[in-house]
Structure 1
Amino acid sequence: MSRAVERKEHPLSMRMPETDIAIIDRAAALRGRSRTEFVRDAAVRAAEEVLMETVPIRMSPAGFKAFMATLSGPVAPVPEMAELFSRAAPWESKASSSDLDANSHKDGASRQKKSSGKRR
């Protein structure tokens, strides 16, 4: 007697425009994956995101109480974050930002003069 073997894989077939296939093939090649692997991973990742957005998180009453206590507790500063926020962004250097501010005021004033002269 032969035993019925349970299938572990199920085929999925889609019809797609050639342009979509070309994009998928290019991205799959950049990742070093086959089209099937790439599409399967992308579809599973998208499905997981949807489920994480819609599935309620369940926890025991004791777990919820501990969770709320953590949220309500005192804030502990993270030194690395404090240091990061104290630094100026690369585009916010003092010399360039003051130059930009001065130039933007001059440009705005000259534009106003030109435009007000044209209206008359």
Structure 2
Amino acid sequence: MPRNVRHKDHPLSMRLPDADIAIIDRAATLRGRSRTDFVREAAVRAAEDVLMETIPIRMSPAGFKAFMAAVTGPITPVPEMQELFRRAAPWETGAAKKRS
């Protein structure tokens, strides 16, 4: 029975030090992925991040006005955030040492 195999359109080759390969292989194994799938996914995710950082955000004049009103208007305290900032950090109270 013939299989439909999708061929890759553009091969990509790179030379990496043994230490890099070891790290990639370990991470790929932990994710249950092949080295190729792991590297492809990581590269595409990194490329998407860069593109999202550089793509301009477009909005209508009314939308921009609403956005500016939201970010320049009076602040509204969030009680949960206020409580969080009042608490001492675990390393300030010794709680981190108790868990060890």
Normalised-by-shorter TM-score class: 0.7 to 0.9
Provide the residue aligned with 2:79 in structure 1. 79
> What residue ranges of structure 2 are gaps of 5+ in the alignment?
1-6, 95-100
- Pair 1:69-2:57 in alignment: no
Give a deviation string over 1:15-37, Cα, whole Å, max 9, x none: 32333222111111112221122
SS in 2 for 1:56: coil
* Residue type at the aligned position of 2:89: A
Moved over 6 A (4+): none
Moved more, 74-83 or 12-21: 12-21
- Gaps (5+ residues) in structure 1? 1-6, 95-120
* Aligned-residue identity in percent: 78
Deviations 1:60-110 (A, max 9, x none): 21211111111122212112111111111122239xxxxxxxxxxxxxxxx
Whole-angstrom CA distance in 2 between matches of 1:84 and 1:21: 41
Partner of 2:17: 17
TM-score (norm 1): 0.62
The 5 A counterparts of 1:36-51 are 36-51=36-51
**Higher-Rg member (1/2):** 1
- Aligned pairs, how many? 88
- TM value normalised by structure 2: 0.72
Structure of higher RCO (CA pairs closer than 8 Å, 6+ residues apart)? 2
Cα pair distance change 1:63/1:9, threshold 3 Å = farther
